[in-house]
A and B are shown apart, each in its own frame.
Chain A
Amino acid sequence: MNFEVVFFFSIAALAIVSAILMITQRNPIKSVIFLIVNFFCIALIYLILHAQFIAIIQILVYAGAIMVLFLFIIMLLNLGDESALTEKIGYKKTIAYVLSAVLLLEIVIGLSLPWTVAASRIHPNANEIGTVEAIGKSLFIDYLLPFEVISMLLLAAIVGVIVLAKKKFQ
């Protein structure tokens, strides 16, 4: 057991605990806080995989930008009394449980297959691949078209925002 393995398992455990806490919280704002903790754990796991750039982007974009929107929506939707949010067990919840069980089974099977072990071995140049320089090179030379297509995707998102809120400010 070296340092990295111990570190990985403690972070992974924290990620799972924070994910469970996020689901079980009554107060939606607390859920948001635990989701942010969860994002941090995921960023640390990226860091263990030598993906420095992705790790910091995980924090910058997910924890810093997307969760602010979540917080806004929860804060401003006037949820008022948190107890009013309790759900009843309906068909939705049953389906969700079934799907989660299937997913869990899938993960277990996937992990026990022999080829995944070989694939999960760390790349010899992992340290170089994770840096900003390497990502930039492959993004702007090898994956040029996908990069430009992303701008179209973002454009669609901008239009979507306007359409969603259109009635309100006209």
Chain B
Amino acid sequence: MLVDYIPVGIMIVFGVAFGLFMMKASEWFGPKNPNEIKQSIYESGMEPIRSARERMSIKYYMVAMLFIIFDIEVVFMYPWAVNFRQLGMFGLIEMFIFVAILMAGFVYVWKKGALKWD
């Protein structure tokens, strides 16, 4: 069983090695004459003002948290979909109840305005 995954492992090693090599290529072959202005961050040609690490809108956290919850919901659907034909109508009703409860939550989120971006 583990043997099935060896090619995946080799592939990952190749992919990462390619990335590493390409990243280093610029360091090896490219010129190196850094100066202060070149290495400063880009801000439309102005002197950078304040730190870049500002606080962000809470919307982004909301999206991330809701994503986790719905992602878990989707994860439960994979084993269900694989066995769908064996489970038959019983399975469909089962999943319908599961989805209906979560959709109630989804409607709640929607009505509360958490999905509203402006």
Contacts and interface: CB of A to CB of B under 8 A. Distances in A.
A101 to B, nearest CB: 33
B53 A78 contact: yes
A158 interface: yes
Interface stretch (B13-21, B22-30, B36-44, B104-112): B104-112
B62 A155 contact: no
Interface residues of B, number: 46
Contacts of A127: 1
Interface stretch (A15-23, A104-112, A113-121, A145-153): A145-153
A152 B72 contact: no
A53 to B, nearest CB: 7
Contact of A151 (B61, B62, B102, B112): B102
A53 B114 contact: no
A144 B76 CA distance: 12
Contact of A48 (B2, B102, B104): B2
Q: How large is the interface on A (under 10, 10 to 19, 20 to 34, 35 or more residues)?
A: 35 or more
B11 interface: no
A152 B97 CA distance: 11
Given A132-B78, A148-B97, A159 B68 contact: no
A69 B64 contact: yes
Given A68-B64, A161-B62, A169 B116 contact: yes
Given A132-B82, A170-B113, 16 more contacts: A57-B75, A80-B53, A135-B79, A136-B78, A136-B82, A140-B79, A140-B94, A152-B101, A158-B106, A159-B108, A162-B109, A162-B112, A165-B58, A165-B61, A165-B62, A169-B58
Contact of A52 (B1, B98, B104): B1
A47 B91 contact: no
Nearest to A150: B76
